[in-house]
Chain A
């Protein structure tokens, strides 16, 4: 009898595993920075309503376009609102909308991709051509159409963004499924007569989950940029709700003499995007999926 070869590798429960992955992510500087930034933004989004020094919608003609000072740390905008207050509040909608949007994208994109990869044949052909057709439509135009028809509420934005950003995930999930589909354990499950659903759930998802999650994390940062672009164009969050895209849009005409009103939201938005990107990369590495294209030697 073969004796127990591995004694060190103890069984870990899921929580410990997640903690282990976080630890691996934080062990490299880029991962640590990414995690810190994301964590900072999430915490800020949670507590900002309680720490905001001013009312975000209080218009005051007396304090229009003031430069940064001890009273107004980031200055004030053209309506006399405190830029610091609006900046720390400005990520809340974006974070919520894109977080749930990515979840929806992951769910439908991932499942459809896995399904297509598994069944193949004509169904796969048809679905993939439809996805290709959608990929060829400029998403921002389509989004504008949807938003102008249905309004800009979060109930519309979340599923709409989720739909448009899920198309790419379909391809990734399908490719990841193709990687495992030819393996004997799937053939074995088929020969035993398991249903497609059972094969997807038991055999495929555990093996493609990591690749799809990483892709989802990357999509999140893209979606954030997309959402801010919508706001910038005036189709995202409606005023007076503070939002980075909207703030940049409002202040861009004043950039030459009131730079503060535009810099703060830009820093907020780009730092969050960079943070998510770094985190996604570290996440991929911690899971053993190397996205960089380094030569093996």
Chain B
């Protein structure tokens, strides 16, 4: 079992900058992959984890080149091989599973054909043997009805199924090493848990070694035997998964683990200050010096070597790791947040809101008939109190963003009303709303790359709302912009910067500042942290909470991440297929009894702890349309009791701790079932 199949020795990869300077992206990386072992490579964006993983299959991106070191696969250097030699290794010996299988599969070829191609290339089987092998492979990755599945096109499969097909294709050549580059990142929580479970099973079943690259410590924790933590192109910590996750002895890993919101903890995670240095910007000293709270003068001048600690079986790159050895109880702490005043008035009411994407047919329009009886979002009733943070949670297609858009006026509601302040009905048409209502409701988007105009400076971006709502100009405008930047902890010198000159976290801060520029009453946050790195996510969450406490703003927070929601929200509404399943104070929603869908979601959350395994209670089927009758969750419910679920919309039941659940099962019975 201890045979080493791939070993990376002192590998440095870099590029030449425009000024002719050599800049390295990977610096002196050495690691070994043993047979049958799953190694997780974890790091934030820009840490060099993908570059390392790709180099392990002998692939180096255009513009980059190896500066020194080697990548030995079965003691042959992959980086010195010709493309012909590599061809023989890739697919047969080392296979790769890409991040987005939907894009990696050819859209106009059937699944079976594509797997057959891989088999033709990598095996010597004849046609009938290959056909048998295809259904064998599809069976192995647990796709339903493998025989018919082979005749489907990629678009007929859901995201999770596509990822399974990619796994089947990678397994076709019976590789010794599987390389997985963020294979579950784009998937829904429940699907993600299922795919990870499959990968773990395959690793055990076939004895294939795996390299699992991800930014998500939760996913890494589920599959890896050993973890390599990368920071700024270096390995900073390497060791057995349990040791790394439970007793991290590098300050970066320690901070990273602390900044992940956890289900078991109420309150906000601690954030790590600063951001990763750009490639080429470190000349001397430890690359983590700027952000480290253990740093000494020694760290500034000298760069620590990767030191092997025998008793822990761990490699660590830090001078002061000993200070962390007995500190690990602190991992389970968080910043408590001020809870809001529950006596406050309601500021926004959604009453029987339905939203439909279907266009009304011309004749129905003439006859004034409502054509869509089964709208995307139906019967949403939520009252939002002033100063609270309410979260809308659900998987993709749950209608959470749709509801947000209709509150903002970007989507027209089909039925129902949105009432703002003293029961005044807000028009569902943006153009009919008065300027003060528009000012009062602001949006923050998921991806700050897209929500900031790339051709505007930060000053121009922030002056848009100030000019529009308050008619500011000249010195006063400038003063306000500086104030806003101060609020989001950015210096005055950011005014002349363009978005491309900012890091992801800084961009999102500018987006937050722009929303606050309008002095809004309600801010709608659409997955605001899901495009950010973990340590940055914690900082943005803390910033949002701080601003809310200072200014009394109300947040409507949309997210798919239950742990993030747990950290920031006062109340949670769980949605499935555009229908409410459960709503209640956040600490109670996370306790049982809960709606079966909430139970499924909670079970699928990946925690950065190898001891907490996800519970897979429901199948990860993707439903295209909400059911026409009955409970919205009937198709996947693990606790379905019979026809009543298909025919009648379940009633609301209120639990003793104040959370309302929409289920046919009696709430007390549900409680005893879920114990």
Contact = CB atoms under 8 A, between A and B. Distances in A.
B465 interface: yes
Interface residues of A, number: 25
A36 B515 CA distance: 49
A46 interface: no
Interface stretch (A4-12, A69-77, A246-254, A264-272): A4-12
B453 A185 contact: yes
B456 interface: yes
A190 B410 contact: yes
A187 B493 contact: no
A119 to B, nearest CB: 12
B430 A184 contact: no
B518 A192 contact: yes
Given A2-B506, A6-B501, A188-B443, A193 B451 contact: no
A158 to B, nearest CB: 31
Interface in B429-483: 430, 433, 435, 438-439, 441-443, 445-447, 450-456, 460, 464-465, 468-469
Interface string A230-263: 0000000000000000000000000000000000
B489 interface: yes
A1 interface: yes
B275 A2 contact: yes
B460 to A, nearest CB: 8
Contacts of A202: 453, 456, 460, 464
A23 interface: no
A1 B502 contact: no
Given A2-B275, A11-B496, A188-B445, A194 B464 contact: yes
Given A183-B450, A192-B442, A5 B278 contact: yes
B452 A185 contact: yes
Contact of B468 (A3, A183, A192, A206): A192
A250 B651 CA distance: 91
Nearest to B453: A185
A95 B162 CA distance: 58
A2 B505 contact: yes
A189 interface: yes
A4 B514 CA distance: 20
Contact of A2 (B274, B446, B468): B274
Interface string A12-51: 0000000000000000000000000000000000000000
Interface string A279-297: 0000000000000000001
B501 A193 contact: no
Given A185-B450, A193-B435, A207-B455, A1 B274 contact: yes
A192 B290 contact: no
Interface string A197-232: 010001100110000000000000000000000000
A57 B409 CA distance: 69
A205 to B, nearest CB: 9
Contact of B408 (A191, A198, A297): A191
Nearest to B18: A8
A6 B506 CA distance: 12
Contacts of A192: 438-439, 442, 464-465, 468-469, 518
Contacts of B445: 184, 187-188
A51 B273 CA distance: 69
Q: How large is the interface on B (under 10, 10 to 19, 20 to 34, 35 or more residues)?
A: 35 or more
A3 B446 CA distance: 22
A207 B498 CA distance: 13
B496 A5 contact: no
B468 A193 contact: yes
B265 interface: no
Given A184-B450, A207-B454, A3 B275 contact: yes
A191 B503 contact: no
A1 B453 contact: no
Interface in A131-189: 183-185, 187-189
B198 interface: no
A223 to B, nearest CB: 28
B468 A194 contact: yes
> Quick one: which of A184, A187, A190, A192 has the most chain B CB within 10 A?
A192
B450 A1 contact: no
Interface in B472-522: 489-490, 493, 496, 501-503, 505-506, 514, 518
A191 B438 CA distance: 7
Nearest to A194: B468
Contact of A193 (B430, B460, B489, B490): B430
B505 A193 contact: no
Contact of A206 (B409, B453, B489): B453
> Quick one: which of A9, A189, A190, A198 has the most chain B CB within 10 A?
A190
B595 to A, nearest CB: 31
B490 A1 contact: yes
Contacts of A5: 275, 278, 501-503, 506
B409 A191 contact: yes
A185 B451 contact: yes
Contacts of A4: 493
> Quick one: which of A5, A11, A194, A297 has the most chain B CB within 10 A?
A5
Contacts of A193: 430, 433, 435, 438-439, 468
A193 B426 CA distance: 14
A190 B290 CA distance: 40
Nearest to B438: A193
Nearest to B489: A1
A4 B458 CA distance: 14
Nearest to B435: A193
A185 B453 CA distance: 6
7 contacts: A2-B503, A2-B536, A5-B502, A6-B278, A188-B445, A191-B410, A194-B464
Interface of B: 62, 273-275, 278, 290, 408-410, 430, 433, 435, 438-439, 441-443, 445-447, 450-456, 460, 464-465, 468-469, 489-490, 493, 496, 501-503, 505-506, 514, 518, 536
Given A2-B502, A188-B443, A202-B456, 14 more contacts: A2-B536, A3-B275, A5-B506, A6-B501, A187-B410, A187-B443, A188-B445, A191-B430, A192-B465, A193-B433, A193-B435, A193-B438, A202-B453, A202-B464
List the 4 closest A-B pairs by CB distance, nearest first.
A206-B455, A193-B438, A184-B451, A184-B445
